[in-house]
Structure 1
Amino acid sequence: MYGTREELCVQLENMFTFDEPLTLLVWTEEGISVACRENQPEPDVAEIRAVMKAIGAMTMADYRREGVTNSDVSELLARQREAANRLISVPASLLSRVVRGYERELEHRTGQAWEAGRPEPESVQAARKDVYALKDALAA
């Protein structure tokens, strides 16, 4: 299971009777971070929470058979990083159309911010850098 303490308590209450003996093992963000200390770079909060979700999604049968060790946690992080950084092939024309559409959306968001008297959001600035990087890759 994965969630906040309150969410997990509700799930446990629905799964077990109030007098049923249980053993509860808990992985916290700090515990995940410590388990992944050897990984470089160290995991950020988003990666830690993704690992926690993966642990929480384990079936009870798998958990009983295999458990979750520090090396398992570190391996989960490594697999998630590999998946996030995997390379795929996409036709340049398709990527170009998607990038143009996304760039127009970013311009729209910038316009909305300016009309509201706010600066361009940092998230839009970061996304614009991604667009420029993709356009450069397409031009190469």
Structure 2
Amino acid sequence: MYGTREELCVKLENMFTACEPLTLLVWTTDAVLAACRKHNQFPTEEEARRIMKAIGDTHMAVYQIKGVTQVSVNDMLTQHREEANRQVSVPAALLTRVLQDYECELEHRAGQAWAAGRPEPQAVQEARNDVYRLKEALAA
């Protein structure tokens, strides 16, 4: 499980009876960072949270057999970085069409915020910047 202490307490309360004995192992952001530093890797806070989420998403049967160790945490960081840097090839025409559709959707979201008297969401601004970077790459 992954979440805040409050969220996890609710999940545990819903999953187990009050008298059921449990063993709870906890990974914090600091613990993930320390485990990685011991292997000369230096994740960002965001990467550490992604690793924590991956640990929390691990099926119980898997971590009961394999455990969650410093080595497995470092493997998760390596895998995350490889996935983040993975590149694919797509036809330029396809990417152009998808970007046009996505840009229209972002404009729609910005318009909804404006109509509701709210500022444009940060996520919309960041996504629009991603679209601009992709368009520049296509034009190059």
TM-score, normalised with respect to structure 1? 0.74
2:76 aligned with 1:76:
yes
- Say which is worse superposed, 29-38 or 73-82, in terms of deviation: 29-38
Partner residue of 1:39? Answer: 41
Secondary structure at the counterpart of residue 82 of structure 1: helix
Q: Which runs of 4+ in 1 moved over 3 A?
A: 101-129
1:88 maps to amino acid = V
2:22 aligned with 1:8:
no
2:55 aligned with 1:60:
no
Q: 1:67 to 1:104 in 2, by over 3 A?
A: same
Secondary structure at the counterpart of residue 36 of structure 1: helix
Secondary structure at the counterpart of residue 138 of structure 2: helix
Identity, % of aligned positions: 62
How far off its partner does 1:26 sit?
0.4
Q: How many residues align?
A: 138
- Say which is worse superposed, 108-117 or 57-66, in terms of deviation: 108-117
Deviation string, structure 1 residues 74-131 (Cα, Å, up to 9, x no partner) = 2112111211221112111011122233344556667788899998776555444433
In structure 2, C-alpha distance between the alignment counterparts of 1:23 and 1:63, rounded to whole Å: 13
2:41 maps to amino acid = N
Deviation string, structure 1 residues 29-48 (Cα, Å, up to 9, x no partner) = 221222223324x2233x22
Q: Structure 2: which 5+ residue stretches go unaligned?
A: none
2:18 maps to amino acid = F
Q: 1:92 to 1:76 in 2, by over 3 A?
A: same
The answer as to whether partners of 1:51 and 1:77 remain within 8 angstroms in 2 is yes
In structure 2, C-alpha distance between the alignment counterparts of 1:74 and 1:9, rounded to whole Å: 27
The answer as to whether partners of 2:35 and 2:70 remain within 8 angstroms in 1 is yes
TM-score, normalised with respect to structure 2? 0.74
1:4 maps to amino acid = T
How far off its partner does 1:73 sit?
0.9
Partner residue of 2:134? Answer: 134
Q: 1:90 to 1:22 in 2, by over 3 A?
A: same
- Say which is worse superposed, 67-76 or 11-20, in terms of deviation: 11-20
